[in-house]
Amino acid sequence: MASVKYDYAEMIWYEIKEAAEQDRVALLPVATYEDHGPHLPVDVDVVLTTEICRRAAVRIPDEVVLVPPVGHGYSPHHMDFHGTITIRWIRSSIMLKMSVAAWRIMDLSGY
């Protein structure tokens, strides 16, 4: 028996179409690149949030598709620190609505 693919990045376009037709939920990691002091890299939120979502998807691959993370958000309060990536709040909201428009979305915020 073939295993069910759950990783969007590893799927072919028609597999994505089939997953959407199966009404699988798009599991969307949402985090940002920002400072966390001198002891952690700027990608820690993205890495941890994506891994949590990946571990969930492994357990229920026939119910979800792990889509690529949204790796930037609204972080103006971190702009005094080098490495932070931020976008305007309105763009962040619109982007999430448009990201996976054909799917039911469950986003996991790693902020």
Beta bridge partners of 65: 26
Give the tens place of pLDDT for each residue, 19-63: 988 989 988 888 888 888 889 998 998 999 999 999 999 999 999
Q: Which 3 state secondary structure label does DSSP give 106? A: strand
Asked if 7 contacts 57 with a C-beta cutoff of 8 angstroms, the reply is yes
86 in Cβ contact with 75 (< 8 Å): yes
Q: What's the pLDDT tens digit per position in 67-77?
A: 988 877 767 67
